[in-house]
Every structure is written in structure tokens, then in C-alpha cells.
């Protein structure tokens, strides 16, 4: 039995939080209620996200209920975290980032075995006549990554000339700051647009003016707009979930504005308005992207293609970004061939960007096409006893020749410290079940612990990288986790870059210290149980692997420092790399893999390892 390491976050888990107010969320609640009792519970994640929770407050979701959308977390303080949890009896409450399309009326026959979700983005908007409280955004342009854009202004008209195009959306940004917003209120951005080359634009993002660039609108009806040589009108609505006198609007143009194109904007206003002006219920708009289609609770998943003409086999689908419509190949109406159809939208189940002193417990996060829990610059986060499933697959960015998809179970991006993930069950993840990673800017990853989690069918069980070399990593603990069938999930075969690795260590320049991987079970990865081919021997030596159980009877167990090691060569790997002292190679013998029971049978050689250890 391996000796278990002391946990640096023990004091964090034992501290007694200050008790504040408790708020409730129920599927049959009312957003006009006060939320303070189960009988007066709120109904939606939008209302919960807009609540000004204070340190020590708790937001509890009723067990057995499903809440669609995304939850925006709020920060606590030392000794008084904000807690998101459950109340009542039954299964864990579900935060679900998808739209249901399981009625035959949800699908329109497009002919030749192709069906669509039917709704089309509105072709026309009108400039508002009521401009009470309106401000005129003062726009400025920012270019990077080789993009070059010049800006001229004449009266209310703004002109942008693209001298050199960007290759990613953020390479050209049109920004306006100083916009006052109040949580719970609705706002309208209106403008006229034209471009001498036909383009399609994403709507403006309402967000924090500085780092960590939090989104301020949990559920806008986001519509991409085709813009041509003739003037057209765009009206965009936002439901603010924060109060800020200096909010920012950002339009990402780098992937859309070609070299030589001139984009013009006129009659632009930003004003408060009535929520009744919102064009349609948000669930009718497939905003941003659809990263996955989950049929019958995961019995099968959709296969994403990038052009309509590539729809050749049943289950393949294409998302039309301009019209926000899904086209699906099916021999019959999809809602006839499947009882349940969920379209995963481009959202995090929980967005925690910039948050600190937050606890999540006893929740189920699923069907979100970004991350289960995502956001940069976090600290003192505890995620425990969560279920996280069918996450990821959204379009992250395109460079014009290929598109990158993403989605992790729990991601600590950028500067992150003093975070803990324990006793979670995580499965069917497009990328990594658990990860801390960063690029572009000097950051510190410090005191992050992942322990006693059970992971299966994620492309990567644990992924780590940090760069540039002026960043620092220290105090990382990946201990007593059970990891099974990396690469065995829905995403593996349709990825352009299939991985299937338990420990995935991509190219990293930041020095690491006090980095421990111990007491884990790593069983049956599709490709490699340990992947670090780009690392030097010196880099690998910065991580201490010890007292793990490995089982990879076929293929490569380890690919590190440019060399493959099969399971039979485990001893050579130990000797040459100086790693995995006290580790063994043995079949763990789980109780019932098909039933997802990853407890160990009596007499298993894995006793003391994994989530039970």
C-alpha cells in the first residue's frame, strides 16, 4: 500500500465558514420571489447569476431538478466562502447547458435526409425610437497578431479599414468602455452596419473592462449577422448579471474582417430597455455554437462536421453560425428516432472567472459545450462531490483552414492558487477531466490539489502545461484518483487530434517544483498512460511520480522524453527516468466497469490506490 502524502490544503477544508443568507432555486419557483426559503425559491440560473451574493451566503438547488443555462459564480472571502450546493431529497440537482429538441415539431425536413432546427435569425431590425437613457459608445480599435486596422470617425460614423487580416478572433477588437449597467436589467445595443466585402460578424460581448474580462450577460439572444455593401440594422439585447459603471462592449473581428475590407458603423446607441423587447425565448436561439448533440442521455452523440455538404451519414450535424441553426443527417425525424435530444450550447456550466473563496458541492454539471467549471484567475476554490458529464466540443477558434474545439471538466486557467477538487465523478469529456494550464503572461499555479476523484472516458484524465518560462508552477498534487479508459469517450474518434492519455503534459516552459503524482490508478488509456514526449529529462524530473498503479496491457504505457515504453518495459522506464518509485503494474480489478462501479474487488492488487486509497 502506498504511503499517502500530506495535503497542503487540509486547513482550507477544515476551516469553518461564516454563515450568511441562504437562497434557494427550484424548477417550479419564481424569479420574482425572494429566494430565502424553499417555498419562495427562484426558478432560473439567470436570476441566481444576477443575485448579489455576499461572503458566507449559500445558493442551494433543489435535488431532482434540472436548471438549464449557465451559472455565474460570485466570490466570498477568507472564512466566508460563497457556497453553491443542494437541498431536499433525491438525485443531485443538474445544471444543464443544453437546449432540448425532442419534439417532432422542433425539426424541419430539409429534404435528402437532412433535418434542421428550423428557426432562422431575424433578417431585419429597426433602429429604436425611444432612446431614454441612451449613451453613444465611444469605439476604439485594438489589433495584434500581425493584424493592422486603421480607424476614422466622421460625426457618428465610424470606419475601419483592415490593412492586414488577423488569424484569430481576438487579433482585431472593437471596444467601447464606460457603459453603466445594473444587474437584472435589460439593455439594447443598436446600430447600422455595412461593409464593402460581404462578412459575417459575431455580436458584441458585454463584459468587464479589465482583467479577468468577466462576461456581464449570462443569456443574450446572440445572433451572428451577415453584413454587405448596403446598410443594415443590428439590434442586440443583453440581460446584465452584474452592476458596473464602467462596462465594456467588445466585438471580435479578427477572424471575420478580411484584408482590404472597410467596415462602417453608424447611429450606434446603448440604452436600457424593457425585457419584453427580447426577440424570443432564449431557449429558441442556439447561440454561439452547438458543440455536441446528446441522444437518449448519452446512448449516442452527434458527429460534428464543418460544411453542410459533409452531412453524409446519420448522426452527423453541421452548425450554421450565421443563422444559428443545426442541420442533422437522419433517416427520419430525429425526435422520432430518439426519445431525448439535447443540443449542447457554447457555455460553461459554471463560469467562475476571477472568483475566490467559492465552494461547489453535490451538483451535477452536464451538456455544456465549453467547460464544466471554467474561468481564469481563481483562488481558494473547492469543488467536491460533483458529477460532471458530457462536457465540451464547442468551436474555440478558427484560423481559416481548421477549427479547434475545446472543453474540460474543471479548468483552472491562468493564475490560479489554493484550489481543491475532491471526490468528484467525471466522465465523457471532450478534452481533460481536470487541468491547470496557462499561456501568454506571467502567472503562478500554486497549491492546487486533485484527490479521490473517479474519471473515465475523458480524452485526458489530467492535463498540465504552463508557459512562458517566466511563469511558475508549485505545490500541485494529483493524488489517489482512479482514472480509466482515457480516450474511450464520445469525442475521441471525431477529433482531428485524438489523444487518449491519462497524464497529458504538453510543452511547458515554466519551472515546476513540489509537483506530486501519487497513489493513483491509471488503467487502459487509448494511447498513452503518461504523455510528455516534448519534455526534457530535466523537465520531467521536476515532477515526482511515485506509488501509482499502472495497467496498460496493449500499446504504449509511457511516451516521455522522446521515448516509448511498453508495459513490459516499466522497469526500464523507472531506471532511465528515475520515476515511479513504489509504483506497480497490475490489473486493478474493479467491481463492475460496465456499471461504472470503480470500487476495487476484495483482494485487488490496487488496494490502497485510487479514489478509495
pLDDT tens sequence across 44-55: 998 999 898 999
Checking if the pLDDT of 10 tops 70, the result is: no
- Confidence at residue 212, expressed as pLDDT on a 0 to 100 scale: 67
Cα distances (angstroms) measured from residue 571 to each of 132, 542, 544: 75, 20, 17
Checking if the pLDDT of 446 tops 90, the result is: yes
- Confidence at residue 440, expressed as pLDDT on a 0 to 100 scale: 76
- Of the listed ranges 62-76, 276-290, 427-441, the least confidently predicted one is 276-290
pLDDT, tens only, 156-175: 899 999 999 888 888 999 99
- Confidence at residue 155, expressed as pLDDT on a 0 to 100 scale: 87
Report the pLDDT averaged over residues 479-486: 98
Q: How far is CA 92 from the centre of its chain?
A: 20
Report the pLDDT averaged over residues 299-305: 97
- Confidence at residue 214, expressed as pLDDT on a 0 to 100 scale: 74
Q: How far apart are CA 59 and CA 83, in angstroms?
A: 6
What confidence tier does 23 reach under pLDDT thresholds 50, 70, 90? very high
Q: How far apart are CA 232 and CA 125, in angstroms?
A: 8
What confidence tier does 242 reach under pLDDT thresholds 50, 70, 90? confident
Checking if the pLDDT of 403 tops 80, the result is: no
Report the pLDDT averaged over residues 586-604: 96
Q: Which three cell numbers stand for residue 5?
A: 502524502
Q: How many other C-beta atoms lie within 10 A of the C-beta of residue 451?
A: 24
- Confidence at residue 283, expressed as pLDDT on a 0 to 100 scale: 43
- Of the listed ranges 202-206, 355-359, 485-489, the least confidently predicted one is 202-206
- Confidence at residue 536, expressed as pLDDT on a 0 to 100 scale: 95
- Confidence at residue 124, expressed as pLDDT on a 0 to 100 scale: 53
CATH 2.60.120.260 fits 139-279, yes or no: yes
- Confidence at residue 402, expressed as pLDDT on a 0 to 100 scale: 65
- Confidence at residue 216, expressed as pLDDT on a 0 to 100 scale: 81
- Confidence at residue 119, expressed as pLDDT on a 0 to 100 scale: 60
- Confidence at residue 278, expressed as pLDDT on a 0 to 100 scale: 63
- Confidence at residue 17, expressed as pLDDT on a 0 to 100 scale: 52
Q: How far apart are CA 330 and CA 115, in angstroms?
A: 7
Q: How far apart are CA 406 and CA 430, in angstroms?
A: 7
- Confidence at residue 401, expressed as pLDDT on a 0 to 100 scale: 58
Residues 523/588, Cβ–Cβ less than 8 Å: yes
What is the pTM assigned to this prediction? 0.80
Residue linked to cell 517566466: 470
Find, among 390, 429, 461, 413, the residue nearest to 96 by Cα. Answer: 390
- Confidence at residue 218, expressed as pLDDT on a 0 to 100 scale: 54
Cα distances (angstroms) measured from residue 35 to each of 40, 92, 239: 5, 19, 19
Q: Which three cell numbers stand for residue 114?
A: 437532412
Coil/strand/helix, residue 106? helix
Where is pLDDT greater, at 393 or 276?
393
Report the pLDDT averaged over residues 12-35: 81
On average, the pLDDT of the chain sits at 91
**Cβ-proximal residues to 185 (8 Å cutoff; 6+ apart), any chain:** 239, 240, 272
DSSP helix, strand, coil percent of the chain (3-state; round to 5): 10, 45, 45
Report the pLDDT averaged over residues 273-278: 72
Checking if the pLDDT of 410 tops 80, the result is: yes
pLDDT, tens only, 305-351: 999 999 999 999 999 887 789 999 999 999 999 999 999 999 999 99
DSSP character string of 243-312? -EEEEEEEEE-TTT--TT-EEEEEEEEEEEE-GGG-SS-GGG---S-EEEEEEGGGTEE-EEESSGGG--
Task: Please report, for the chain, the start and end positions of each structural domain, with discontinuous segments joined by +.
Answer: 10-19+347-612, 100-106+285-340, 139-279
Find, among 476, 520, 491, the residue nearest to 304 by Cα. Answer: 491
- Confidence at residue 9, expressed as pLDDT on a 0 to 100 scale: 47
Q: Which three cell numbers stand for residue 37?
A: 426559503
- Confidence at residue 8, expressed as pLDDT on a 0 to 100 scale: 46
Where is pLDDT greater, at 1 or 190?
190
Report the pLDDT averaged over residues 371-397: 95
Report the pLDDT averaged over residues 263-281: 80
Q: How far apart are CA 468 and CA 514, in angstroms?
A: 19
Report the pLDDT averaged over residues 573-600: 97
- Confidence at residue 482, expressed as pLDDT on a 0 to 100 scale: 98
What confidence tier does 120 reach under pLDDT thresholds 50, 70, 90? low
What confidence tier does 13 reach under pLDDT thresholds 50, 70, 90? very low
Checking if the pLDDT of 222 tops 60, the result is: no
- Of the listed ranges 318-322, 424-428, 458-462, 580-584, the least confidently predicted one is 318-322
Report the pLDDT averaged over residues 391-400: 80
- Of the listed ranges 87-96, 134-143, 205-214, 416-425, the least confidently predicted one is 205-214
pLDDT, tens only, 370-380: 999 999 999 99
- Confidence at residue 221, expressed as pLDDT on a 0 to 100 scale: 47
pLDDT, tens only, 467-478: 999 999 999 999
Report the pLDDT averaged over residues 214-228: 68
What confidence tier does 201 reach under pLDDT thresholds 50, 70, 90? confident
Amino acid at each position: 500500500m502506498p504511503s499517502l502524502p500530506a495535503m497542503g490544503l487540509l486547513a482550507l477544508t477544515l476551516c469553518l465558514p461564516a454563515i450568511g443568507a441562504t437562497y434557494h432555486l427550484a424548477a417550479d419557483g419564481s424569479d420574482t420571489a425572494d429566494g430565502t426559503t424553499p417555498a419562495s425559491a427562484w426558478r432560473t440560473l439567470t436570476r441566481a447569476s444576477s443575485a448579489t451574493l455576499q461572503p458566507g451566503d449559500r445558493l442551494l438547488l433543489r435535488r431532482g431538478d434540472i436548471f438549464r443555462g449557465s451559472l455565474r459564480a460570485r466570490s466570498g472571502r477568507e472564512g466566508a466562502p460563497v457556497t453553491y450546493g443542494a437541498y431536499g431529497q433525491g438525485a443531485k440537482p443538474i445544471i444543464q447547458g443544453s437546449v432540448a429538441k425532442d419534439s417532432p415539431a422542433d425539426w424541419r425536413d430539409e429534404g435528402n435526409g437532412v433535418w434542421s432546427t428550423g428557426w432562422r435569425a431575424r433578417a431585419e431590425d429597426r433602429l429604436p425610437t425611444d432612446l431614454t437613457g441612451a449613451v453613444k459608445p465611444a469605439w476604439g480599435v485594438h489589433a495584434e497578431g500581425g493584424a493592422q486596422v486603421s480607424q476614422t470617425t466622421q460625426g457618428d460614423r465610424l470606419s475601419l479599414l483592415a490593412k492586414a487580416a488577423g488569424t484569430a478572433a481576438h487579433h482585431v477588437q472593437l471596444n467601447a468602455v464606460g457603459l453603466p449597467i445594473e444587474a437584472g436589467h435589460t439593455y439594447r445595443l443598436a446600430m447600422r452596419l455595412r461593409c464593402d466585402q460581404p462578412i459575417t460578424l459575431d455580436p458584441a460581448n458585454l463584459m468587464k473592462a479589465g482583467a479577468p474580462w468577466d462576461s456581464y450577460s449570462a443569456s443574450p439572444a446572440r445572433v451572428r449577422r451577415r453584413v454587405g455593401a448596403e446598410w443594415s440594422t443590428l439590434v442586440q439585447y443583453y440581460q446584465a448579471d452584474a452592476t458596473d459603471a464602467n462596462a465594456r462592449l467588445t466585438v471580435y473581428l479578427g477572424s471575420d474582417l478580411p484584408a482590404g475590407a472597410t467596415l462602417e458603423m453608424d447611429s450606434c446607441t446603448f440604452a436600457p430597455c424593457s425585457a419584453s423587447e427580447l426577440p424570443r425565448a432564449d431557449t429558441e436561439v442556439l447561440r454561439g455554437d452547438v458543440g455536441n448533440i446528446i441522444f437518449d442521455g448519452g446512448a449516442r452523440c452527434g458527429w460534428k462536421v464543418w460544411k453542410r455538404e459533409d452531412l453524409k451519414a446519420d448522426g452527423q450535424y453541421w452548425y450554421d453560425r450565421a443563422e444559428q441553426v443545426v442541420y442533422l443527417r437522419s433517416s427520419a425525424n430525429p425526435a422520432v428516432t430518439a426519445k431525448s435530444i439535447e443540443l449542447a450550447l457554447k457555455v460553461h456550466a459554471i463560469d467562475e472567472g476571477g472568483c475566490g473563496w467559492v465552494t461547489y458541492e453535490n451538483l451535477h454539471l452536464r451538456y455544456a459545450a465549453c467547460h464544466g467549471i471554467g474561468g481564469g484567475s481563481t483562488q481558494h476554490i473547492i469543488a467536491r462531490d460533483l458529477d460532471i458529464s458530457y462536457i465540451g466540443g464547442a468551436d474555440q477558434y478558427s484560423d481559416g483552414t481548421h477549427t479547434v474545439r475545446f472543453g474540460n471538466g474543471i479548468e483552472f486557467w491562468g493564475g490560479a492558487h489554493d484550489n481543491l477538487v475532491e471526490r468528484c465523478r467525471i466522465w465523457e469529456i471532450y478534452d481533460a477531466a481536470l487541468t491547470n494550464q496557462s499561456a501568454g503572461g506571467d502567472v503562478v499555479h500554486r497549491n492546487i490539489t486533485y484527490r479521490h476523484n473517479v474519471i473515465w472516458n475523458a480524452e485526458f484524465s489530467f492535463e498540465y502545461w504552463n508557459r512562458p518560462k517566466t511563469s511558475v508552477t508549485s505545490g500541485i498534487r494529483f493524488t489517489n484518483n482512479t482514472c480509466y479508459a482515457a480516450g474511450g469517450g464520445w469525442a475521441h474518434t471525431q477529433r482531428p487530434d485524438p489523444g487518449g492519455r491519462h497524464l497529458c503534459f504538453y510543452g511547458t516552459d515554466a519551472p515546476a517544483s513540489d509537483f506530486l503524482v501519487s497513489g493513483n490508478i491509471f488503467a487502459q488509456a487509448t494511447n498513452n498512460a503518461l504523455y510528455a514526449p516534448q519534455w526534457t529529462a530535466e523537465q520531467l524530473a521536476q515532477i515526482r511520480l511515485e506509488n501509482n498503479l499502472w495497467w496498460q496491457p496493449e500499446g504504449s504505457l509511457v511516451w516521455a522524453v522522446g521515448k516509448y515504453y511498453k508495459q513490459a518495459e516499466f522497469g526500464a522506464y523507472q531506471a532511465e527516468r528515475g520515476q515511479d518509485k513504489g509504483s506497480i503494474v497490475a490489473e486493478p480489478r474493479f467491481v463492475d466497469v460496465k456499471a461504472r462501479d470503480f470500487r476495487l474487488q476484495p483482494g485487488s492488487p490496487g488496494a490502497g490506490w485510487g479514489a478509495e486509497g
